[in-house]
Every structure is written in C-alpha cells, then in structure tokens.
Structure 1
Amino acid sequence: MNINYGKPHPGIRRRYFESGSAVLPDGVQLVGRYESRQASPLPRHRHPGVFEIKYVSQGTLRYRLNGGDIEIHAGELHICRPGEPHGGANNRMPPCLCYWLEVMPERLLPDSETARIFASLPSGKLVPPDRRLAMYFERLFDECASQRPDRLNCIAGWVRLLLVDIGRECRARPVAVPAGQPYSEPVRAVIAAMRQHVADAEPLEQLLAAGRLSPSAIFERFRQETGHTPNEFRLQLKIERSLELLRDPSLSITAVAFRLGFSSSQYFATVFRKITGYSPRRWRDRLATLERLT
C-alpha cells in the first residue's frame, strides 16, 4: 500500500524500488533504504499478501506491531507477516539506517521448505545479528540501482539467498506453528523421521511407518496437512541440507549428492534447480562471491 511519509526533508534520505518498475522480479514487491538523522512520520499500515522484512543497520527502530511496541536494534532483522498492522511507535520513524523488503517467498521458492517456514512464522519474528544478512541487503539494493542487463536475475538470486538463510536461522531456533494449524502427531512423527534420516537413502515406506497408520492413510494425511507428498517434502529437506554442505569447498557437488542419498549428481542437480531456481554450481559460485564480500 502507499504510505504518506510527509514532506521531503534534506536530512532524510529514502529510496525504494517498487514492483511494476521493470526493476524487480516476480515475487518481490519493494526494496527500500532509509537513512535519517531525525525522526520522520511512519503511520500505521499493512501489506496484504506480502511479508515485510526490515533490517536495521544503524540505530534502533521502535516499532508498533499489533498494538504493542518492540525495539529492533542494529544488526537485527524483523519480519512482519502479510496483513499485520504495523508502523513507527507514536507513528514516527526514529533516526536510523535500515533496509526493507516486501516479498512473497512462495513465488521465489515455490514448493520449498523455506516457503513453508515463512508461512509458519509467528507474529513479529526477530532474527539475531548476522553480518551476512547486512551484505544481502546491501548487495540487493546495489543491484536494484545498477544498470546491469541481467539485474533481474541477480536481484532474484540475492533475495533467494536471503530467504534461505533466514529460513535456516528460524529452523535452527524452533518456530512455533500458528495456533489452530499444528500438524497431527502422525505427521509430526514422519517429519521427525525424515529430518533424522535426511542424509540417508532410507526407503520412504520405512519413514512413513513412523506415523503408525496404514501407508495409504499416512500418505493422504501428510499431503493434506503439509500441502506436499511425503517424497516432495523429503526432497525439500535434502535440498535445505545441501545448501549447508555446499558451503564446504572441500566437498564436490557429486559428493554432496551422494552424501544426501541421491542416486546421481544429475538427479540432485535437477531437484536442486527445481526448488532453488539455480544449479548447485551456480549457487556455490554465488556463495563464494558473498564470502569474499564479507
């Protein structure tokens, strides 16, 4: 939605790129940067259908979310769920430097574990400081402002990397499933078995047996509750794990594929591309670039 930020002021620098401007790829609604040495208006607003991810680089951002005030300190990242009313405390934006992103993870990473993690995030999720997150936003904003002919692909790539890293951080710090939407005990048991054997070539039937239902019954319940077949869900977990293994330069892509129980590196690459939009080698190259920048 359009927000009335008040009159422009020389002490406030705000720049953003919106969808429809031929700069942003599908699934990214807005990329912005705000820098100010004085307070400015930030009225209560909401973003239907999109997550707002805000990263504070300098200063402290005091935010009002669902009627309560929170503080986002330098280095922290805050996530607003689609449609959540939020704005500055007392409708003011304090002096700070921050970046923000409005995004639909399910568009950029369809049928992925990362998209599912975002869908299950609680209200007002805070992610602790990580220099890598700052680099994502800085590079993302620079790409938006560039005139590179391939900037759409580059922007999509940086956003995907950001979403996957946020998802991994949220997964490492267990996220509660929203009230009224928990998985049933049989489905939770199967997911736990999948995570325990994510690097194994364990037959799917043995993993489904953890649900203690007939094969047809657990298959149908799993599909209904997660929106994916058990095999699709299992592959997503394997790819999420592969993102961590690909950070190790001593492991070849073939070694990563075999370590996760794939029958061949070609099949691994096919699944990897379907979920992330990149080949494993291209993803690893981008990670190497990011490591050099940090």
Structure 2
Amino acid sequence: MPFDRPADLLAGFIATRPDPEVPELIMVGEQWAPRGQRIGAHSHEDWEFYYQVEGLSRWRVARRTYEIQAGALFAAPPGVRHEMPEHQRGEHHYCFVAVDVARCARRIGSDVAEVFLKSSEPRVIESAGEARAAFQTLVREVSIVRPWRAAALRMATDAFVLEVARLLSGGEQRALGRHPAVTRALRLMEQEPERAWRVPVLARLAGCSPAHLTELFRRELGATPHQHLLTLRLERAAELLALGEIPVTHLALTLGFSSGQHFAAAFRRRFGHSPRQHARRAAPGS
C-alpha cells in the first residue's frame, strides 16, 4: 500500500489504493498543512471530497473560487480540474477521499447513485459535520492494520458515500429516542470538538436552559456536556496518535487543550498510559 508522508506537511499522510480488495477506495488522507501551501490543478476519474477541519482554504475551478471554511465539505465531480493556487494565510487541517461512487452505490442503492448523477458541478456544503466522523473512520481503518481490514474498509467507504449523499440531497433529520436538545448539542460538539464549548452557549443553540441541558446529558449519556466533550477529544487524540509523527503538544492545542501537560494528564487518566506510549504501541511492528 503506497503510504506517503509528504515532507512539506506539518503532519499527516496520503494513502493511494490502500487495499487491493477495495478498489473503490482510490485515495484517502489527513493532513496538517503549513502556511503557504498550494495544491496544483488536478482531476480524478471519480469523485473527490475535501473536509476542512480547521483553518480556511480556497479551491479554484475554472474561473470560480470556492472558499471552504472549517466544518465545510468540498465535492469535486469526476473530470473536474480543481486547484488550491493561493498561499494559505495560516496553518490548516483537512481530510480528503477519492472514491468510485458508482461502485459503492451498486451496493447501497440506485437512489444514492442518482444523487451524485445530478451533481455535475462542484459543491460546497457549509455545515457538513456528519462527514467528519465518516472521514475519521476511513482514516482509522486505513492507517491501522487489523483483522478483517478489507471488509471494514468496504463498509467504511460505503458509509462515507451514504453520508455525503445525505448531505448533497439535503434530506430531513429527526431525532429518535433522544431528546432533540441533546441531539443538537452532540452534533455541535462532534463537528467542532476542539472548540471551547460552554454549556450556556450549547444550551442556547440547542434551545433549552443550561441546567436542563446538563440534566438531559446526565440522564441520556451519563455525563455532563463538559465530560462528554473531553471524551470526544481524547478518543480523537488516540486515533490521531496512531497515525504517528504528530507532535503531542501540537495535537493537544489543535484539539482544544490548554497545554501539552493538561492533555497528557487527561489522556493518562482516560487510557492508563501517556500519549507517547500510545503512539509507540500503535506503531507498525510494535
């Protein structure tokens, strides 16, 4: 499996054709890019998707420029040349996937294929937090060799395509079995776990009082909003540490911790070992 760590990045990787048993997954990666990064004009025979985790990027297609804010998804259809020609103003963090959508849609359903067939132009979905979790699952399965890898990659790729189809179609969402305020708050935290979410802000956006939101979280999740946010951050940190070559302090600040020491102490309480020990255990051949 071609697994490349470009030298001009702060951290991250790109995997091309990560598994011969899953030919529909053409390319996947996660990268922390420095100020001034450029990406030359290119296109693919299949769909390519970029999710902006942090920072801001600008993609150009012909004479049109698409500005991609944090939390947004940029979808480039097959054959459409796109580039990031401008020097970026600051560091930015993004994930990307190139996938044979038609092959996945044959397993998922023809109605999913129709969503993509209707989209011949690039699309930007401003609030695409649901795609972030799908990206993270793909990155985890690509970067760590575990039993039934091909089956897991195939399922993760299908789940990703299905999630993007939902976003492109703009279908309705309804909460089932969970209070709507908790669902809204969870969605916000999962979209931006690095943000310093305060309960009053979450409660206002979720449509209830801070005390009621905290009570709902305790009842439905067994934790306060702050405790759940900490869990999200630490679980994400564990996934990223498994990729290797990500400085612990940089990772800590990226995920919203006040310092590397604060992050290391919280990580040890959660997992029973330090972040560096976790990275060494996850390294190939360890």
Could you tell me the TM-score, scaled by structure 2's length? 0.54
Report the counterpart of residue 92 of structure 2 in structure 1: 96
Report the counterpart of residue 55 of structure 1 in structure 2: 51
Report the counterpart of residue 189 of structure 1 in structure 2: none
Instruction: Report % sequence identity.
Output: 17
Question: Does the residue aligned with 1:44 lie in a helix, a strand or coil?
Answer: strand
The structural deviation recorded for 1:249 is 6.4
Q: Name the CA distance, whole Å, in 1 between partners of 2:112 and 2:65.
A: 28
Kindly provide the CA deviation profile for residues 74-94 of structure 1, in whole angstroms up to 9, marking residues without a partner as x. 000010011111110337796
Cα 1:93–1:104 change in 2 (3 A) is farther
Q: Name the CA distance, whole Å, in 1 between partners of 2:177 and 2:20.
A: 33
Asked if the contact 1:12/1:38 (under 8 Å) is kept, the reply is: no
Kindly provide the CA deviation profile for residues 233-268 of structure 1, in whole angstroms up to 9, marking residues without a partner as x. xxxxxxxx9xx89x8569xxxxxxxxxxxxxxxxxx
Asked if the contact 1:62/1:93 (under 8 Å) is kept, the reply is: no
Report the counterpart of residue 36 of structure 1 in structure 2: 33
Q: Name the CA distance, whole Å, in 1 between partners of 2:93 and 2:170.
A: 28
| Count of aligned pairs | 175
Report the counterpart of residue 72 of structure 1 in structure 2: 68
Report the counterpart of residue 217 of structure 1 in structure 2: none
Cα 1:26–1:53 change in 2 (3 A) is same
Asked if the contact 2:38/2:85 (under 8 Å) is kept, the reply is: no
Q: Is the counterpart of residue 46 in structure 1 residue 43 in structure 2?
A: yes
Asked if the contact 1:24/1:30 (under 8 Å) is kept, the reply is: no
Cα 1:123–1:8 change in 2 (3 A) is same
Q: Which amino acid aligns with 1:162?
A: F
Asked if the contact 2:43/2:82 (under 8 Å) is kept, the reply is: yes
The structural deviation recorded for 1:169 is 2.5
Q: Name the CA distance, whole Å, in 2 between partners of 1:151 and 1:128.
A: 32
Cα 1:117–1:93 change in 2 (3 A) is farther
The structural deviation recorded for 1:143 is 0.9
Residue ranges of structure 1 left out of the alignment (5+ in a row): 174-240, 251-291
Asked if the contact 1:62/1:72 (under 8 Å) is kept, the reply is: yes
Q: Which amino acid aligns with 2:91?
A: P
Q: Which amino acid aligns with 2:27?
A: L
Question: Does the residue aligned with 2:51 lie in a helix, a strand or coil?
Answer: strand
Q: Name the CA distance, whole Å, in 1 between partners of 2:140 and 2:160.
A: 15
Q: Which amino acid aligns with 2:111?
A: E
Question: Does the residue aligned with 2:164 lie in a helix, a strand or coil?
Answer: helix
Asked if the contact 1:35/1:97 (under 8 Å) is kept, the reply is: yes
Question: Does the residue aligned with 1:109 lie in a helix, a strand or coil?
Answer: helix
Q: Name the CA distance, whole Å, in 2 between partners of 1:136 and 1:55.
A: 10
Report the counterpart of residue 114 of structure 2 in structure 1: 116
Residue ranges of structure 2 left out of the alignment (5+ in a row): 179-230, 236-286
Question: Which protein shows a greater Rg?
Answer: 1
Report the counterpart of residue 148 of structure 2 in structure 1: 150
Asked if the contact 2:52/2:93 (under 8 Å) is kept, the reply is: yes
User: What is the Cα-based RMSD across aligned positions, in Å?
Assistant: 3.0
Cα 1:93–1:52 change in 2 (3 A) is farther
Q: Name the CA distance, whole Å, in 1 between partners of 2:94 and 2:134.
A: 13
Could you tell me the TM-score, scaled by structure 1's length? 0.53
Q: Which amino acid aligns with 2:33?
A: S
Q: Name the CA distance, whole Å, in 2 between partners of 1:130 and 1:92.
A: 22
